[in-house]
Structure 1
Amino acid sequence: MVILMPQTVTNKLTVEATFIAHFLGGSNRLLQLMKKNFQELGLKKEDCLELSWAECAVFWANMDHTSAAEVLLDRNSYAASFLVRKTDYVQTPISKLGWESIFNKLVELGKCCVFLNPYGGVMDEIPADATPCPHRAGNLFKVQYWINWSEGDPEVDGRYVNQTRVLHEFMTKYVSKNPRCVYLNYRDLDIGVRVGSGVSGYNSGKVYGEKYFKGNFDRWVKVKTAVDPDNFFRSEQSIPTLPGIKNAEACLLISKI
C-alpha cells in the first residue's frame, strides 16, 4: 500500500509518499526479494517489523502494536472520530505528468490523503464472476480517498467531506469508466441511492449496483428476489428486487445462476 499525504516540510506544503506492505515471512527473505525486484525503495532491516498475528491486527487498526494483548482485551473504545472514504480503480498507467497534477491537487486541498492498494498476482487469477466482488484482473490498483478528523463541527465536517468529493471528481480522467467501479466496503452514497420500489427501485439500484458489482449485479437481484421478495432487509444502497417476479419464478432464476 502507498499513502500519499500532504505534509509540511521546511515550511512548505508538499506530498509525502509512504510505502507499507504486509509480508508473510521473515524480514531476511523479504530483503532478498526487495533487493532483487524493487531496489528503488532501498529497504533496510531496520525498516521491517516482525510481528505476531495479534500484533499485526493491532498495527493495521492504527493502534499500539507493542501492547497488542492489552489493546485487544480493552473493552473501552478509543475516542470517537469522523471519517470519509471514497474509492476508485485504476486500469491504465497514470503518466508522470498526471501524478504531478494529482500531487498538486492534494497540496491544494490540504488534508485529503490517497491510499493506493496494488492489485495483480492471485487477484488476476480469480474470475470476475467467481465471487460477488468483480474487481479482479485488469485493475492495476485501487484508489482510496481518505480523511479522518475529530472536531465534530458541522462547518468542518462539510469542508472535509467536500475535499473528498472534489478530489474524486478531479480523478475522473485517470480511473475506470463505464462503469466507474467502486469497492463495496467503503459505502459511498454520492454514487447513487435506491429510490422507490418495483421498476424505479431496480433502475435506481442499478446505478450504484453496477459500480459495486459490475456484471454480478443482476445475479444479486435474483438472489434478493428469491430470499427477500418483500424487501424487508433494505438500506439506501441495498439490492433491489425484480419487479413483477413471483417467489417461485425467482427461485427458478436463482437455480440457473
Structure 2
Amino acid sequence: MASSFFTIFSIFLLVLFSIDSHASSPSIPIQQSFLQCMSSLNNTLSIPTSLFYTPDNSSSFNSILQSSAQNLRYLVPSMPKPEFIFTPLTEPHAQVAVACSNRLGIHLRVRSGGHDYEGASYVSEIESPFIVIDMAQLRAVDVNTQESTAWVQAGATTGELYYWIAEKSSIHGFPAGVCSSLGIGGHITGGAYGSMMRKYGLAADNVLDARIVDAQGRTLDRTAMGEDLFWAIRGAGGGSFGVILAWKLKLVPVPEKVTVFTVTKTLEQGATRILYKWQQVVDKLDEDLFIRVIIKSASGDPKGKRTVTTSYNALFLGDVDRLIQVMGKSFPELGLTRNDCTQTSWIGAVLYIAGFPNGTSTPPEVLLQGKSLFKNYFKAKSDFVRAPIPEAALLGLWNRYLLDENPYMIWTPYGGMMSRVPESQTPFPHRSGTIFKIQYVASWQDGDKDPSKHMDWVRKLYNYMTPYVSKSPREAYVNYRDLDLGMNRRRNTTFAEASSWGSKYYKGNFYRLAKIKSRFDPDNFFWHEQSIPVIPGRKKNG
C-alpha cells in the first residue's frame, strides 16, 4: 500500500535537497513562506489555502484549534497559539509540510486526536513561533477481514476503527483504547491499552506496519525505516521520531456474543474490603475477563454526607453462563448476579465500556462522530502497582480522596498477555509483575475561581501513594503525559536531564530510544516538552 507513494516522495526529496535551506524572512509572514516552500517542492501538488487556519480569522481558527483539544486547560487565552494550523487532505500534503517546517526552521507540533494530557500536540510553551499540523482529515480505514488486517490513517479515531471493523465482521475486533475519540495516530505511539489488553496485549503489540514522515521529509514504511525505528514508534509517545501517517493493524478474533457489567459498591457496602480482594485476584483472573474499577464520590445518605463509590466495569469475552462460573470461583466477593450482566456484540461492548449514555443500545454510528464525552479542565497523573495496597492504606486514601469536589480514579488490571510480553519487546515496559495501573484525575469547570486547589489535591494524593506503588523508578504511563515528572526546557536537553521523566515512562528502554533518536533525527527536529533526547556524537553510526 505504501509503494505507490515512494516515487512521488523520492521526487519531493530530490527537490528538497536541490534548494538551499534558509529561515523564513522576518518580512514575509510565516504562512506565505510556507506556501512558497510547498509550491517549490512540488508545483503539481494542489494545496488549497482553505487547508490553513490563521488567527486572522479568529472564528475558524478557534473552531479548528478547539475541535479535538481535550484538556481545556490548554485553550485559555494565556496559552501560546500556533502561527497557523495546517490540515492536510492527503499524505503528500503532510510530507511536504514536514519538509518545509524543517527547511524554514519552524517549530512543529502534530495532532491526531488532541488527547495529549499536557497539550503538547497543539501548544508549545518552550519554542515560538510554532505551527500545528492537524491530521483530522486523514481518517481512512481499510479493513480486510480475509487477512484479519486493517490500514488506518492517523486522523481516524478508535471509535471509527471499531465501527468499520464491526461493519465488516461480527467476529473481529482490535485491542485499543476505551475512549472512542482517541486519534489513532498518537494513541498507538504510547502503547495503547484497552479492555482486551489481558487477552491480546496493547494496540502497539498488534501493529504489522506503519507509514511515517521522518525529519528529512521522507515517507517510510516498515521495510524502509528498519526494525529499530519500527520498534521505537510503537510505545515511545508521539512527536519524537516523525509524523505517523497510517498504521497497519492485526485484527483479533472476538466471540459473536460477549458480556458486560457494572457493579457499584460504596464504603458503606464494604467497598474497601472488596477492593482489597480485587487487588489480590485481578491479574490472575481468566484472561477473557477485564474488570477495571472507576472510583468517584457520591452522596452517602439523605443528609448529603459524601462517600466513595467503586464501580467494577467489565468486559468478558464469552457468554453469561461462563462469566458467572468464573466470577463465582475467582471473585465471589463482588456478588455478581445474572441481572447485573448484559450480553451483547463486541461493538455493543465498545459503546458500553466507552460510557455512552444508553450503553449497548446506542447506535454504533455515534462512533463516527469522533466526539469526546469527557472534554474538560483537568490534571492527571499515573502509577503502577506491584503489590496489593493494604486496607489501612486504602482507608487513608479515602480520607484524602474526599477532600476534592470531583475526585476521579481508574484502576486498570494487568496480567494475562500483559505479563507474558517482555519489557523490551516495545518501548512500553510496564509488563510482568504489574497488578494494575492507577490514573488519578482532578477536573473542574470553567469559571472555577481557584483551579490550583484541584492541582494541589491530585499532587498530594499522588505523594500519599508513594509507599504503595512501583519504585526505582516510580513508573508512569506516557499516554497520561505528566509534566510534573520533568520536561525538556530547551532543544539540547541532555539524556541525563531527560532521564528524570524518561526512566519513569520507559525504564531500561529509555537509553535505546535515545540511541535510535540520535540516528534518525540527530538534529532533534521533532522535539517537545517530553520528546526523546539526542545523545551528542551518536548519529548514523552511533
| Matching residue within 47, 51, 65 for 2:344 | 51
1:163 matched to 2:457? yes
Q: 1:90 aligns with which of 363, 370, 385?
A: 385
Larger Rg over CA atoms? 2
Alignment partners' CA distance in 2, 1:188 and 1:79: 18
Are 1:18 and 2:311 counterparts? yes
Q: Structure 1: how far apart are the matches of 2:417 and 2:431?
A: 9
Shift of 1:154: 5.8
Q: Work out which of the residue numbers 290, 296, 299 in structure 2 matches 1:5.
A: 296
1:72 is aligned, of 367, 377, 381, to 367
Q: Deviations over 1:14-35 (max 9, x none)?
A: 2111111111111221111111
Structure 1 stretch displaced more, 152-161 or 29-38: 152-161
| Aligned counterparts, 1:171-186, within 5 A | 171-186=465-480
Question: Is residue 242 of structure 1 aligned with residue 535 of structure 2?
Answer: yes
Work out the CA distance in 2 between the residues paired with 1:79 and 1:124.
30
In structure 2, how many angstroms separate the alpha carbons of the residues matched to 1:185 and 1:49?
30
SS in 2 for 1:50: strand
Instruction: State yes or no: 1:204 paired with 2:500.
Output: no
Of stretches 112-121 and 220-229 in structure 1, the one that deviates more from structure 2 is 112-121
* SS of aligned partner of 1:180: coil
SS of the equivalent of 2:534 reads coil
Per-residue deviation, 1:78: 6.1
Residue 96 of structure 1: how far off its partner (Å):
1.4
Provide, for residues 214-237 of structure 1, a one-character-per-residue CA deviation record: whole Å limited to 9, x for no partner.
Answer: 000001101111111111111100
The residue type paired with residue 165 of structure 1 is R
Is the contact between residue 113 and residue 147 of structure 1 (CA under 8 Å) also seen in structure 2? yes
Equivalent in 416, 419, 433 of residue 138 of structure 1? 433
Residues 44-95 of structure 1 deviation map (CA, whole Å, 9 limit, x = unaligned): 1121122323322222332233223241243666684223321001122221
Task: Report the more deviating stretch, 174-183 or 53-62.
Answer: 53-62
Give the 3 Å change call, closer, same or farther, for CA 18–76 of structure 1 in structure 2: closer
Secondary structure of the 1:138 match is coil
Counterparts in 2 of 1:35 and 1:129: CA distance versus 1, 3 Å: same
Give ranges in structure 2 of 5+ residues lacking alignment: 1-291
Name which of structure 1's ranges 92-101 and 235-244 shifts more when overlaid on structure 2.
92-101
> What is the CA distance between 1:169 and its match in structure 2?
1.3
- Say if 1:89 and 1:182, in contact at 8 Å, map to a contact too: yes
Summarize the Cα distance change of 1:101–1:126 in structure 2 as closer, same or farther, 3 Å threshold. same
Q: In 2, are the aligned partners of 1:195 and 1:205 still within 8 Å (CA)?
A: no
**Structure 2 CA distance for partners of 1:203 and 1:196, relative to 1, 3 Å:** farther
How far apart in 2 are the matches of 1:179 and 1:3?
26
Residue deviations 1:173-208, cap 9 Å, x none?
21111111001110001101013344x432221111
Please give the secondary structure, in 1, of the residue aligned with 2:401: helix
Residue type at the aligned position of 1:49:
T
For 1:86, give the aligned amino acid.
Answer: K
CA contact (8 A) 1:54 1:68 kept: no
Shift in Å at residue 161 of structure 1?
Answer: 2.4
Q: Does 1:219 align with 2:512?
A: yes
Q: Percent identity?
A: 38
What does 1:143-158 correspond to in 2, within 5 Å? 143-149=438-444, 151-153=445-447, 155-158=449-452
Contact between 2:420 and 2:432, CA under 8 Å: does it hold in 1?
yes
C-alpha displacement at 1:144, in angstroms?
Answer: 1.0
SS in 2 for 1:5: strand
Q: Secondary structure at the match of 1:21?
A: strand
**SS of 2:294 mapped into structure 1:** strand
Measure the CA separation in 2 of the matches of 1:77 and 1:194. 29
Q: What is the letter of the counterpart of residue 184 of structure 1?
A: V
| RMSD of equivalent CA atoms | 2.0
Q: Once the two structures are superposed, what CA deviation does each residue of 1:98-154 show, in whole Å capped at 9, x if it has no partner?
A: 1111111112234222221122222221111111111111112111102344x2236
Structure 2: distance between partners of 1:103 and 1:53: 35
Greater RCO (Cα-Cα under 8 Å, separation 6 or more)? 1
| Displacement of 1:212 | 0.1
SS at match of 2:494: helix
Letter in 2 for 1:114: M
Instruction: Specify the alignment match of 1:124 in structure 2.
Output: 419
Structure 1 residues 154, 12: CA separation in 2 closer, same or farther (over 3 Å shift)?
A: closer
**In structure 1, C-alpha distance between the alignment counterparts of 2:351 and 2:414, rounded to whole Å:** 24
2:481 aligned counterpart, secondary structure? coil
- Report if the CA contact (8 A) 1:202-1:243 is conserved: no
- Does residue 191 of structure 1 match 2:482? no
Residues 107, 75 of structure 1: CA spacing in aligned structure 2 closer, same or farther, 3 A cutoff?
closer
Normalized per residue, the structure richer in helix is 1
Report how many residues are paired.
247
Corresponding letter in the other structure for 1:93 = P
Residues 108 and 223 of structure 1, relative CA distance in 2, 3 Å threshold: same
